[in-house]
Structure 1
Amino acid sequence: KVTASMGVVQCHQLDADRPHAVVEDVMSAADLALYRCKRTGRAGYRFYEHLMRVDLQSEKSMEHELTLALKANKLLLHFQPVFDAKSKRIIGAEALIRWPTDEGFISPAQFIPLAERSGLIADIDLWVLQQILDHCDQLSRKHSDLVLSFNLSAHHFNKHTFTDIIQPLLPRIKRVGPQLALELTERVMFERTEGVIASLHSLRHLGVHISLDDFGTGFSSLSYLTQFPIDKIKIDQSFIKTMHSNTTARAVVQAAAQIGKTLGLVVNAEGVETEEQLAVVSQLGIDEVQGFLFARPMPFDAFLKLLDD
Structure 2
Amino acid sequence: MENIRFVEYNSIGEFAGLLMAGLLLFVMLYTKPKRTYVYRYVFQGIIWSIAAILVQLSIVMVANNPAKLYNRYLFMGQLMVFLLLYNGILFYIFSYVNMMSIVRRKQRKEFVLMFVALTLVYLAAVAVEIASRGLYTVNLDGIDISNFTRFYCSAGIICAVICFNASITNRKNISRVIWHAVCLFVPMDLIILISQIIGVGINHTIYSATTYVPIFALGYLMFHSVPYDEVTGCQSIYALDAFVSKNTGRKKYYVSYLMVFLPGIEAVSNDGSEDTLKGIAICRAVEAISPQIRMYKISDYRYVNIIDTDKEEEYENYCQQLRGIFDNVRASTDIPFNYVMVNAEAKAELENPVKVRQFFEFLAGRYKDQNSSHFYMATTMDYDEFAENYEITTTLKDIRNRLDLMDDRVQVFAQPIYSVETGSFRVAEALMRLRIGDRLFSPDRFIPLAERIGCIHALTCIILNKVCDAVSLLSENYDFDAISINCSSKELSQKDMTEDLIEIIEKYDIDMAKIRLEITESAMFENFDMAKDNMTVLTKAGIQFYLDDFGTGYSSLERVMNCPFKTIKFDKTLLYKSLDDDRMDDIVTYMIEVFKKNGFITLVEGVEDECQNQYSVERGFDYIQGYHYAKPEPIEEMRKYFTRKSKF
Q: What TM-score results when the alignment is normalised by the length of structure 2?
A: 0.42
- Residues 127-147 of structure 1: per-residue CA shift (max 9 Å, x gap): 111112112211321335421
Letter of the aligned partner of 1:27 in structure 2?
Y
Name which of 385, 389, 408 aligns with 1:59: 389
Aligned CA-pair RMSD: 3.8
Name which of 434, 451, 462 aligns with 1:116: 451
The CA distance in 2 between the partners of 1:58 and 1:4, in whole Å, is 36
CA 1:27 to 1:307, structure 2 compared with 1: closer, same or farther past 3 Å? same
Are 2:368 and 1:40 equivalent residues in the alignment?
Answer: yes
Moved more, 242-251 or 217-226: 242-251
The CA distance in 1 between the partners of 2:605 and 2:502, in whole Å, is 31
Residue 296 (structure 2) aligns with = 23
Residue 463 (structure 2) aligns with = 128
CA 1:287 to 1:60, structure 2 compared with 1: closer, same or farther past 3 Å? same
Correspondence list, 1:187-226, <5 A: 187-226=522-561
Question: Contact 2:414 / 2:430 at 8 angstroms: preserved in 1?
Answer: yes
Correspondence list, 1:1-309, <5 A: 4=264, 19=292, 21-23=294-296, 27-28=303-304, 36=364, 40-41=368-369, 46=373, 49-51=376-378, 59-67=389-397, 73-101=408-436, 104-143=439-478, 145-163=480-498, 165-166=500-501, 168-169=503-504, 171-172=506-507, 175-307=510-642
- Residues 64-84 of structure 1: per-residue CA shift (max 9 Å, x gap): 144457765222111100111
The CA distance in 2 between the partners of 1:135 and 1:190, in whole Å, is 32
SS of 1:230's equivalent in the other structure is coil
Q: CA deviation at 1:36?
A: 4.2
- Residues 29-54 of structure 1: per-residue CA shift (max 9 Å, x gap): 67967994797338x67556444985
The CA distance in 1 between the partners of 2:284 and 2:469, in whole Å, is 56
Gaps of 5+ in 2: 1-261, 267-278, 306-340, 342-356
Q: CA deviation at 1:17?
A: 10
The CA distance in 2 between the partners of 1:18 and 1:107, in whole Å, is 47
CA 1:19 to 1:66, structure 2 compared with 1: closer, same or farther past 3 Å? same
SS of 2:483's equivalent in the other structure is strand
Question: Contact 1:33 / 1:49 at 8 angstroms: preserved in 2?
Answer: no
Moved more, 145-154 or 217-226: 217-226
Question: Contact 2:518 / 2:546 at 8 angstroms: preserved in 1?
Answer: yes
Q: CA deviation at 1:163?
A: 3.4
SS of 2:429's equivalent in the other structure is strand
Question: Contact 2:425 / 2:641 at 8 angstroms: preserved in 1?
Answer: no
The CA distance in 2 between the partners of 1:40 and 1:173, in whole Å, is 43
The CA distance in 2 between the partners of 1:192 and 1:214, in whole Å, is 16
The CA distance in 2 between the partners of 1:13 and 1:62, in whole Å, is 36
The CA distance in 2 between the partners of 1:276 and 1:228, in whole Å, is 33
What is the number of residues matched between the two proteins? 306
Letter of the aligned partner of 2:561 in structure 1?
T
Moved more, 276-285 or 162-171: 162-171
SS of 2:296's equivalent in the other structure is helix
The CA distance in 2 between the partners of 1:230 and 1:261, in whole Å, is 12
SS of 1:141's equivalent in the other structure is coil
- Residues 151-205 of structure 1: per-residue CA shift (max 9 Å, x gap): 1211122242423532532624874211111110122222343322221111111
CA 1:195 to 1:290, structure 2 compared with 1: closer, same or farther past 3 Å? same
SS of 1:27's equivalent in the other structure is strand
CA 1:28 to 1:217, structure 2 compared with 1: closer, same or farther past 3 Å? same
Letter of the aligned partner of 2:303 in structure 1?
M
Q: CA deviation at 1:19?
A: 3.5
Higher helix fraction (1 or 2):
2
Q: CA deviation at 1:110?
A: 1.9
Higher strand fraction (1 or 2):
1
Moved more, 225-234 or 98-107: 98-107
Residue 71 (structure 2) aligns with = none
SS of 2:484's equivalent in the other structure is strand
Question: Contact 2:472 / 2:508 at 8 angstroms: preserved in 1?
Answer: no
CA 1:143 to 1:207, structure 2 compared with 1: closer, same or farther past 3 Å? farther
- Residues 227-256 of structure 1: per-residue CA shift (max 9 Å, x gap): 211111001012223432233443343133
Percent identity between the aligned chains?
A: 22
The CA distance in 1 between the partners of 2:387 and 2:412, in whole Å, is 28
Gaps of 5+ in 1: none
CA 1:173 to 1:266, structure 2 compared with 1: closer, same or farther past 3 Å? farther
The CA distance in 2 between the partners of 1:142 and 1:87, in whole Å, is 19
The CA distance in 2 between the partners of 1:172 and 1:58, in whole Å, is 36
Question: Contact 1:186 / 1:220 at 8 angstroms: preserved in 2?
Answer: yes
Choose 1 or 2 for highest CA Rg.
2
CA 1:12 to 1:298, structure 2 compared with 1: closer, same or farther past 3 Å? farther
SS of 2:580's equivalent in the other structure is coil
- Residues 258-296 of structure 1: per-residue CA shift (max 9 Å, x gap): 122221100001111122222221112211111111111
SS of 1:264's equivalent in the other structure is coil
